[in-house]
Amino acid sequence: MTASTAPLEMLAGADRVRRYAPWVLLVVGVAVLQVSYHGEPFPRAWDTVISDPINAFQAWARSNRRTHPLFTSFFTPLSRSIDWALTSVEGFLQWLPWYVVPGATFLLIARTRRWWPAAVAALASVYPGIVGLWDETMQTLALMAIAVFICLVIGIPLGVAAAFSRRLESVMRPVLDAMQTVPAPIYFIPMILFLGIGRVPATIATVIYALPPIIRLTALGIRQVDRQAVEASTVFGSSRAQTLFKVQIPLAMPSIMTGINQTIMMALGIVVLATLLGAGGLGQEVMDALQQRSPGRGTAAGLAIVAVAMVLDRIGASFADTDRTHHVSWRATAIGAAAVVGALFLGSALGWSEFPPVSDVSILAPIDRAVIWARDNLSFITRPFNDFMVAEILVPARDLLTEVIAWPVLIFATAWVCWRMRGWKLAAVAAALLTVVGLIGMWELSIVTLTHVVAAVVLSVLIAVPVGIWAGRKPRVEAALAPILDALQTVPSFVYLIPVVMLFTLSAVPGIIASVLYAVVPGIRLTALGVRQVPAEALEASRAFGATDRQTLFGVRLPLAAPTIMAGVNQVIMMVLAMVIIAGLAGSQGLGFEAVRAVTRTNTGLGFEVAIAVVTMAIILDRLTQAAGERLQPPSA
């Protein structure tokens, strides 16, 4: 070895050490922990540290609800105010002559001269009455109206404040992330603790779940207002408040209206789950259909929710479309409004409030017969598939992670992956959270849920990525898939459970299949988006060098689309986690079943423990997939 080559070889050796040291650490750590493991279960040192104080506080709250100032001065007046608002809005909606609703729907949308969407939305608003669910729809609309109104009263001012204060935005960002990451039913648990069961806690839970979009998009819209417009307003002597209300908010209105639209859609997404708190309405119809295993009734109620979503979405879009609102004919709008008001008073005077009896949910009875036929004639497919999933995949995976691999190994391996993907901070947080999950007695249940989540995510990705690639390369295929994906994304997730439970037995498999149906949509759409947005120059260069279509797909399209595809995988994981508790209603064990038991039996302490476990799983999986997506980003020029 010469003197000139020695430093180079030393540098190469140091580089090899840095490259292989993390893997050596992983192998040594896993080996030491596994060898020292003697089969002991995770020690439940804190099994009652969280649940007992919370259950004690729940008992205290029940005993002091009518006397303690915390309730008499805050929660009770709040509950009575919201209940009064719900009763008033519901009474008003049921007092309205039924035909006023489609008439007002048509008028609100048609004022922008979108005649066809206005007609379709008006017809959709009539559907709940046709299937005999008019009163239930009015109950759901009342809850929606109050929840969305509270979201706007809280969300728009917070969004404006966040737009002007980076510090406030940085404080709010993790809170909003948590609000969007936590599965919606987890919000029910503290609501039971402070407000009990009924429509009021369901409304508050809906507000918490649906609030983030309006805050985020209001702040985004305000920040994106052209700086020159703001400076011009200031030059002309406008105060800060005048600039805000006369310049910034009007110019940010499209973004704000989009936030309102997203808030409405998220509120509708929780309407069925709110039934667990006694909210009633269309959600109760879906729950009854699940308990009675009546897919026809469930489909009727689910389509009624879809109809409500369609109507509210089209109305929101009409207000967000600033290009067309400038061309509104105010004379025609005034004439239409006068006609609606006249019809309102005429119908009220003649007692035409109730929807005339046309049909009922039995109109979809053929769906019941079709599912029963499929259950009886396709059992040679469904039963082997169910048995294979349970006996060959879920149970062995659970036993591997609980009986073979030591629990310290799982914590260490998870922390190591987090360290490699995003640094030591995430590794420390992940290890600490997993340790807490074990200490509170949720380890085995979390492992069971993890196996179900992984199975659903793998099945979803195996479907979503090929279909998304196909749709991204073929515009006609994407156009044909669009209404199917819209339906899958709009239909309440509960509705998927009804036919699946009838086709399969009560087990983890129906929950996994329903999760796949619910979660596959963003995977398909984001994969198609990533494939479609690959620069044409890159594709042309690949073909110029003689690459085949297959080589171009795997060598150019997929690598460049990988960050977007990984974002789709992230959304798939989050939506599968959102289905964990719903899957518990289908017989799926694990955290979902415990959460349902906690809500239905008002065991708030157990509910908080389940919430900690679910949130831990969501945070770790979300951060890991985000980090994977960031690593797949192509280097910037």
Contacts of 68 (CB under 8 A, 6+ apart): none
pLDDT at 50: 81
Total count of residues recorded for the chain: 637
Q: Is residue 36 part of a domain?
A: no
The residue from 291, 326, 354 where one domain ends is 354
Identity of the highest mean pLDDT range in 340-349, 398-407, 494-503: 398-407
| Lowest-confidence region among 60-69, 339-348, 389-398, 612-621 | 339-348
Does 340 lie in the same domain as 378? no
pLDDT at 588 > cutoff 80: no
Alpha carbon distance 521, 301 (integer Å): 21
Residue 284: CA count within 13 A, CB half-sphere: 14
Query: In terms of Cα–Cα distance, which of 508, 501, 505 is closest to 447?
Result: 508
Which one-letter DSSP state was computed for residue 418?
H
Same domain, 242 and 377: no
| pLDDT recorded at residue 413 | 92
Residue 481 within any structural domain of the chain: yes
In the chain, the number of structural domains is: 2
State residue 16's pLDDT score. Answer: 64
- Indicate whether 396 and 281 sit together in one domain: no
251 shares its domain with 376: no
Same domain, residue pair 284 and 377: no
User: Is 37 within the bounds of a domain?
Assistant: no
Report how far residue 637's alpha carbon sits from residue 354's, in angstroms, rounded to the nearest whole number: 65
pLDDT confidence bin for 15, thresholds 50/70/90 = low
Q: Given this model, what pLDDT does residue 463 score? A: 93
- The stretch 103-123 carries a mean pLDDT of 83
pLDDT band with cut points at 50, 70 and 90 for residue 637: very low
117 in a domain, yes or no?
yes
Q: Which comes out higher in pLDDT, residue 48 or 208?
A: 208
Q: Which of 320, 354, 388 is the last residue of a domain?
A: 354
The two tokens of residue 289 are: 């259909």
Dist CA 228 CA 246 (whole Å) = 14
Residue at a domain's end among 354, 382, 398 = 354
Condensed to tens digits (0 to 9), the pLDDT of residues 348-384 reads 666 666 777 766 666 677 777 887 788 778 777 888 8
How much is the CA Rg of the chain, to the nearest whole Å? 28
DSSP code per residue over 509-562: HHHHHHHHHHHHHHHHHHHHHHHHTS-HHHHHHHHHTT--HHHHIIIIIHHHHH
**Cα dihedral 525→531→532→534 (10° resolution):** 140
Percent of the chain with pLDDT over 90: 7
Q: Rounded to an integer, what distance in angstroms lies between the CA atom of residue 336 and that of residue 115?
A: 14
In a domain, 618, yes or no: yes
Q: How many other β-carbons are positioned within 10 Å of the β-carbon of residue 181?
A: 18
Residue 335 has pLDDT above 80, yes or no: no
This prediction has a pTM of 0.76
For residue range 270-299, what is the model confidence (pLDDT) as tens digits?
776 777 777 778 888 877 877 777 777 777
- Res. 332 pLDDT band, cuts 50 70 90: low
Residue 547 lies in a domain: yes
Q: Are residues 341 and 390 in the same domain?
A: no
SS3 67: coil
pLDDT at 101 exceeding the cut of 80: yes
Return the higher-pLDDT residue of 600 and 447. 447
Residue ranges with strand state E in 152-287:
none
Q: Are 478 and 528 in contact (CB under 8 A)?
A: yes
The answer on 380 and 255 residing in a single domain is: no
CATH number at residue 565: 1.10.3720.10
Same domain, yes or no: 136 and 270: yes
Q: What are the DSSP calls for 450-479, one per residue?
A: HHHHHHHHHHHHHHHHHHHHHHHH-HHHHH
Q: Could you tell me if 335 and 252 lie in one domain?
A: yes
pLDDT, average across residues 405-412: 90
Q: Which two tokens stand for residue 4?
A: 């000139």
Q: Using CB atoms within 10 A of its CB, is residue 38 exposed (0-12), middle (13-18) or buried (19+)?
A: exposed
Residue 179 lies in a domain: yes
Same domain for 497 and 596? Answer: yes
Are 314 and 442 in the same domain?
no
Question: Can you tell me the mean pLDDT for 517-532?
Answer: 86
Q: Mean pLDDT, the chain, as a whole number?
A: 80
- 536, HSE (Cβ side, Cα atoms, 13 Å): 0
d(CA 377, CA 133): 32
Query: If pLDDT is split at 50, 70 and 90, which confidence band does 113 have?
Result: confident
Per the structure, the complete domain to which residue 456 belongs is given by 371-406+438-631
Q: For the stretch 367-402, what's the b/e string if a residue is b when 16 or more beta carbons lie within 10 angstroms of its beta carbon?
A: bbeebeeebeeeeeebeeebeebeeebbeebbeebb
Give CA–CA dist 216/259, Å, rounded: 8
Residue 12 belongs to some domain of the structure = no
Q: CB count, 10 Å around CB of 18?
A: 9
Segment 400-418 shows an average pLDDT of 90
Same domain, 324 and 399: no
406-429 CB burial, b ≥16 within 10 A, e <16 = bbbbbbbebbbbbbebbeeebbeb
Per-residue pLDDT reduced to its tens digit, 122-166? 888 888 888 888 888 888 888 888 888 899 899 999 999 988 888
